[in-house]
């Protein structure tokens, strides 16, 4: 897949510089946050409820705009993107939302296929990819079920399948295992891990220590909208 945001591994994909986000009237969700994410990195974003994790991911997928500061993707100031360029950049980001954002009356297949149809994939390729993702996530038997009739954990996995469907260069996953048992958590993390090994940059916002405690990936912690980076923590000690 060609991509606007693919480039050599030794440069950063995302640069967030002194970003502040306030919601009306005066809620400071992010306070002077600076961080970079390299091409092909997997990064965990942690912090208690209300710390600002979802807000940070929303800024990266253009659902919210920073109040102050700069966000660059592939060294392009995203606040300067509009129209076609913004649309193109957006298509290169797969997002698994904390609140799923599925179409409840559409089936599992339709929800995932819709994300692929906008990229003009062929029906054959779409079917093959959807079947593969559902098998990976333990959902093969739900393919024709409307997503409104699924459990929360099943809906969560559909939203992850949709985020991964186009093999985007960047995946943002907001609490991707929040409703899952350990077996389903392992399926999701294996899928994300494989995509990361293939070069996908992945940012995971999570409360779930089990998914990052044995990992070597970078851990970034938010506290009251302020960022603290923990380079490497050995939880086994």
Ligand X SMILES: Nc1ncnc2c1ncn2[C@@H]1O[C@H](COP(=O)(O)OP(=O)(O)OP(=O)(O)O)[C@@H](O)[C@H]1O
What are the residues binding Mg ion (CB under 5 A)?
53-54, 98
Sites for ligand X among residues 106-135 (CB under 6 A): none
- Cα 52 from Cα 102, distance rounded (Å): 23
| 111 vs 206 by CB, closer to Mg ion | 206
Which of ligand X, Mg ion, none interacts with 23 (beta carbon under 5 to 8 A by kind)? ligand X
| Contact partner at residue 52 from Mg ion, ligand X, none, CB < 5 to 8 Å by partner kind | ligand X
Alpha-carbon span 105 to 145, nearest angstrom: 9
CB 203 within 8 A of CB 37: yes
Give me the residues paired with residue 37 across strands: 14
Q: Pairing relation of β-strands 76-77 and 68-73? A: antiparallel
Which member of 46, 55, 136, 156 binds ligand X (CB under 6 A)?
55
Part in contact with ligand X (CB under 6 A); list of ranges 49-57, 101-109, 147-155, 226-234 = 49-57
Q: How far apart are CA 61 and CA 100, in angstroms?
A: 15
Q: Which does 27 bind (CB under 5 to 8 A by kind): Mg ion, ligand X, none?
A: ligand X
Minimum distance, C-beta of residue 52 to ligand X, in the bound complex (Å)? 4
Tell me how far apart the alpha carbons of residues 192 and 195 are, in angstroms, rounded to a whole number: 5
Kindly list the residues in this chain that would bind ligand X in the complex (CB under 6 A). Answer: 23, 27, 29, 47, 49-55, 98
């Amino acid at each position: 897949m060609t991509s606007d945001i693919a480039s050599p591994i030794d440069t950063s994909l995302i640069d967030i510089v002194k970003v502040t986000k306030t919601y009306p009237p005066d809620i400071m969700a992010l306070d002077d946050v600076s961080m970079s994410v390299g091409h092909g990195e997997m990064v965990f974003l942690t912090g208690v409820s209300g710390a600002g994790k979802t807000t940070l991911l929303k800024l990266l997928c253009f659902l919210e705009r920073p109040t102050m500061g700069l966000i660059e993707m592939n060294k392009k100031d995203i606040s300067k993107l509009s129209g076609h360029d913004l649309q193109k950049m957006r298509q290169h980001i797969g997002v698994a939302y904390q609140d799923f954002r599925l179409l409840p009356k559409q089936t599992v297949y339709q929800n995932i296929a819709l994300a692929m149809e906008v990229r003009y994939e062929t029906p054959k390729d779409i079917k093959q990819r959807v079947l593969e993702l559902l098998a990976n996530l333990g959902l093969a038997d739900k393919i024709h079920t409307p997503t409104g009739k699924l459990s929360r954990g099943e809906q969560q996995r559909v939203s992850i399948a949709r985020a991964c469907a186009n093999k985007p260069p960047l995946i943002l996953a907001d609490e991707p295992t929040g409703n899952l048992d350990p077996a389903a958590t392992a399926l999701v993390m294996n899928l994300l891990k494989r995509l990361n090994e293939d070069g996908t940059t992945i940012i995971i916002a999570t409360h779930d220590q089990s998914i990052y405690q044995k990992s070597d990936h970078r851990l970034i912690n938010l506290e009251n909208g302020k960022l603290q980076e923990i380079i490497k923590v050995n939880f086994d000690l």
